[in-house]
Structure 1
Amino acid sequence: MPGESKPDVVVGPDDVLDWSTFDGFTVPAGYPWPRVLGYRGSDLGFLAWSRRRTIEQFAWTPTVPMTVDAGAADIHHLTVSLRSAALTIVLPATTSAFTACGDLALLHAELAAGGVCPHLYFYPATRASRDAEPLKLPPLPSLAEATSIYVGAKPLRQAFDCASLLQFPHLTQVRLFGQLTNLDALAELSHVQRLQLGDCPDLTGLPPLTTWPGLHDFDASNIAQEAGRDLRQQLKGVRLPHASVTRLRTAEWFERDYGLPFSEWPTATARRATKAFRAAEAADDPETGIRAFIRAINDLPGIATPRIVRIM
Structure 2
Amino acid sequence: MPNDNQAPLPAGSIREAGRYPIDLTGPRSHTLVRKPGVGSLSIGPSQLGKKADLHVAPDSHIDWTVFEAFTTPAGSPWPRFLHYTGSDTGFFDWAQKRPIEEMAWAPILSADTVADAIQSNLHGLYIELDQSGGSLRLMLPKRQVFEYFRLSVAGDLSRFSATGDMPYSLTLAPRTSRRKNDVPFLLPDLGELHQVTSLTLRNAPLGQPISLECLNRFPNLTSLSLWGNFCDLDLLAHQAQLTNLELRFMPDLSDLPPLDAWPLLDSFIAYNVEEITGKRLRQQMKTRANTRPWTDHASVSQLRKPEWWTTEFGRPFSSWPKRLAKLANEAYNVAQATLAQARSFTDAEAAITAFTVRFNTLKGIETTEREDLGEAVWQLSQSDHLIGQPITEEMAQRWFDTARDY
Q: Give the shorter-chain TM-score range.
A: 0.7 to 0.9
**Does 2:160 correspond to 1:107?**
yes
Q: Which moved more, 1:192-201 or 1:142-151?
A: 142-151
Amino acid at match of 2:307: E
Equivalent of 2:260 in 210, 214, 223: 210
For 1:22-171, what aligned pairs fall within 5 Å after superposition? 22-64=67-109, 65-83=112-130, 84-85=132-133, 86-93=135-142, 94=146, 96-111=149-164, 115-171=165-221
In 2 relative to 1, CA 20–129 (structure 1 residues): closer, same or farther, beyond 3 Å? same
Q: How many residues align?
A: 263
| Bigger CA radius of gyration | 2
Which residue pairs with 1:291 in the alignment? none
CA contact (8 A) 1:110 1:140 kept: no
**Does 2:97 correspond to 1:16?**
no
Identity among equivalent pairs (%)? 38
CA distance, structure 1, for counterparts of residue 68 and residue 332 of structure 2: 51
CA contact (8 A) 1:117 1:145 kept: no
CA distance, structure 2, for counterparts of residue 282 and residue 33 of structure 1: 46
Amino acid at match of 1:215: L
TM-superposition CA deviations, 1:106-144 (whole Å, max 9, x none): 211222xxx343201122221012222222332223123
In 2 relative to 1, CA 225–36 (structure 1 residues): closer, same or farther, beyond 3 Å? same
Structure 2 alignment gaps of length 5 or more: 1-41, 43-49, 319-328, 338-406
Query: Which has the bigger relative contact order, CA under 8 A and spacing at least 6?
Result: 1
For 1:170-181, what aligned pairs fall within 5 Å after superposition? 170-181=220-231
Q: Flag the structure with higher helix content.
A: 2
CA contact (8 A) 2:161 2:191 kept: no
The structural deviation recorded for 1:279 is 9.4
CA distance, structure 2, for counterparts of residue 137 and residue 176 of structure 1: 14
CA contact (8 A) 1:141 1:167 kept: no
Amino acid at match of 1:103: D
CA contact (8 A) 1:140 1:167 kept: no
**Does 2:304 correspond to 1:249?**
yes
CA distance, structure 2, for counterparts of residue 91 and residue 78 of structure 1: 10
TM-superposition CA deviations, 1:186-206 (whole Å, max 9, x none): 111121111111111111221
TM-score with structure 2 length normalisation? Answer: 0.60
CA contact (8 A) 2:271 2:300 kept: yes
Divergent runs of 4+, >4 A: 278-284
Structure 1 alignment gaps of length 5 or more: 264-277, 285-312
SS for the counterpart of 1:144 is helix
CA distance, structure 1, for counterparts of residue 177 and residue 215 of structure 2: 20
